[in-house]
């Protein structure tokens, strides 16, 4: 975990051999290295420049495992940030994490859009059901008035047939509503699974990235 603090505290900037710029006026005193200034204006004081580099190397040596303190002076003096392979590897890992976060956001937006569409369909079906129920009520009311006014059984039977047709339509829409509710429930389950899978994959990739980063710092 010490190696992690070293990397996250240092801003990755183009570094040429023997030069590290852009640090504040005071040498670093902890594993969190504040970065400021501009790389376009190298320091003019060579002593201050050497003191800054020595402070960074001191932090890197502290971040090494305890066994690395027995290495030769050349190993302790090597600047891992002069190794372009390490820098490229770290950049690739952080780029991969950024892409994973972007994919998660895109996936969540797509899922949210699907849920909105499903709820819209459900609302439309409910509106149709309410409309047909109102029609059935109107037909029943008209049928009652006509029965009182006209005792013609044929007319009553025709109105009853109309009611049956309307009721069948209502039942059909009820079935469609149930199917829509089932689809919404299934979609919610898939959404939960997708979110868990994406989150697990992102955590796994993040863990692998940190492990590779620790190995690279240890080897160098």
Domain boundary assignment for the chain: 2-82, 85-219
Domain boundaries 85-219, corresponding CATH code? 1.10.287
Return the sign of the alpha-carbon dihedral for residues 172, 176, 177, 181.
positive
Confidence of residue 9 (pLDDT cuts 50, 70, 90): very low
- What pTM was computed for the model? 0.24
Minimum mean pLDDT among 36-45, 72-81, 120-129: which range? 36-45
205: buried, middle or exposed (CB in 10 Å: 19+, 13-18, 0-12)? middle
Q: Which residue, among 114, 97, 108, has the nearest Cα to 201 in the 3D structure?
A: 97
The residue among 163 and 92 whose pLDDT is bigger is: 163
Q: Which of 116, 100, 132, 114 is closest to 200 using CA atoms?
A: 100
pLDDT tens-digit map of 72-119: 444 445 566 667 777 777 777 777 776 677 778 888 888 888 888 888
* DSSP structure class, residue 39: T
């Amino acid at each position: 975990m010490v190696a992690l603090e070293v990397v996250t505290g240092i801003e990755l900037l183009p570094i040429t051999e023997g030069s590290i710029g852009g640090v504040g006026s005071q040498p670093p005193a902890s594993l969190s290295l504040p970065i400021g200034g501009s790389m376009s204006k190298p320091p003019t004081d060579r002593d201050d420049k050497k003191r800054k580099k020595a402070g960074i190397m001191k932090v890197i040596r502290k971040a090494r495992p305890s066994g690395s303190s027995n290495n030769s002076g050349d190993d302790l003096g090597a600047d891992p940030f002069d190794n372009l392979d390490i820098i490229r590897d770290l950049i690739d890992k952080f780029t991969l994490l950024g892409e994973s976060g972007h994919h998660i956001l895109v996936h969540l937006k797509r899922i949210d859009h699907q849920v909105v569409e499903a709820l819209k369909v459900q609302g439309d079906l409910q509106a149709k059901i309410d409309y047909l129920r109102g029609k059935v009520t109107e037909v029943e009311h008209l049928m009652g008035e006509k029965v009182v006014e006209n005792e013609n059984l044929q007319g009553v039977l025709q109105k009853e047939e109309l009611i049956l047709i309307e009721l069948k339509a209502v039942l059909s829409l009820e079935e469609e509503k149930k199917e829509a509710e089932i689809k919404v429930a299934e979609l919610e389950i898939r959404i939960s699974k997708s979110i868990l899978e994406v989150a697990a994959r992102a955590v796994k990739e993040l863990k692998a990235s940190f492990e590779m980063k620790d190995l690279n710092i240890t080897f160098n």
